[in-house]
Amino acid sequence: MEFDEVIRRRRMVRGYDPDRPVPAELVDKIVRHGLRAPSAGFSQGWSFLVLTEPADRDLFWSVTAAEDGAAGGWLRRMRTAPLIIVAFSNKSVYLDRYAESDKGWTDRDESRWPVPYWDIDAGFASLLMHLTAVNEGLGSCFFGLPADRLDAVEQAFGVPAEFTPIGVLTVGYRGDDKRSPSLKRGHRPVEDVVHHGRWTSVGEV
């Protein structure tokens, strides 16, 4: 698939065919493409929990889904995904890397970082996995975990304390799905979000 076509087709898919597992070779390709993402100082402080076995996926949903079922139909559709990839960032890897001699810092002071690049880089990697899934004719959705369920996820899957879950990809062949009502908002006009040369205030001449 041409890259322009991948971008045009990319959207968040929330319903999958439960009878079509993602072939092992595609799972491997998706994950490996994610590892080609850029990272500050080539720190690569990410890790990914790949869930393909039904028992593992059931465990994931049991510790992350709201008990009252408030999520409704979209969650029922999401649970049909045959592949779940949980993305984690590791801040300590970055603090250690930038305390090395070639970076010029002599400490692990977190205040030197204007934004948490450990999370951004894990997001870059997740996007490459998402686009790879689209390129392979699969559907995919990236979403965040409920803040009050992070500890439960880490405990359920034995995640070391230094790793923080930053989001989840569901992947599979498209099944029963429907467009998100949020899409009615439409894309913001380019002139509202792209500023060439300088940021001009409204009404400024």
**Which CA distances in Å does 154 have to 14, 53, 86, 87, 163?**
24, 18, 11, 12, 9
Rounded to an integer, the average pLDDT of 125-149 is 95
Q: Please state, in angstroms and as integers, the Cα–Cα distance from residue 79 to each residue in 14, 129, 158, 170, following that order.
A: 9, 19, 22, 9
Query: Mind listing the pLDDT tens digit for each residue in 62-87?
Result: 999 865 544 556 677 889 999 999 99
Provide the 8-state DSSP code for 40.
G
| Mean pLDDT computed over every residue of the chain | 90
Asked whether residue 121 carries a pLDDT value surpassing 60, the answer given is: yes
- What does the block give as tokens for 96? 């250690």
More confident residue, 200 or 108: 108
With beta carbons less than 8 A apart as the criterion, state whether 163 and 90 touch: yes
* C-beta of residue 48 within 8 angstroms of C-beta of residue 86: yes
The band of 1, judged by pLDDT with boundaries at 50, 70 and 90, is confident
Query: In the chain, what are the domains?
Result: 3-180 (3.40.109.10)
Query: Which pLDDT score, from 0 to 100, does residue 62 have?
Result: 92
- Tens-place pLDDT, residues 145-204: 999 999 999 999 999 999 999 999 999 999 877 677 776 788 888 888 889 998 876 555
Is the overall model pTM greater than 0.85, yes or no? yes
Q: Yes or no: say if 134 and 171 are a contact pair by the CB < 8 Å rule.
A: no
* Bridge partners, residue 12, by sequence: 140
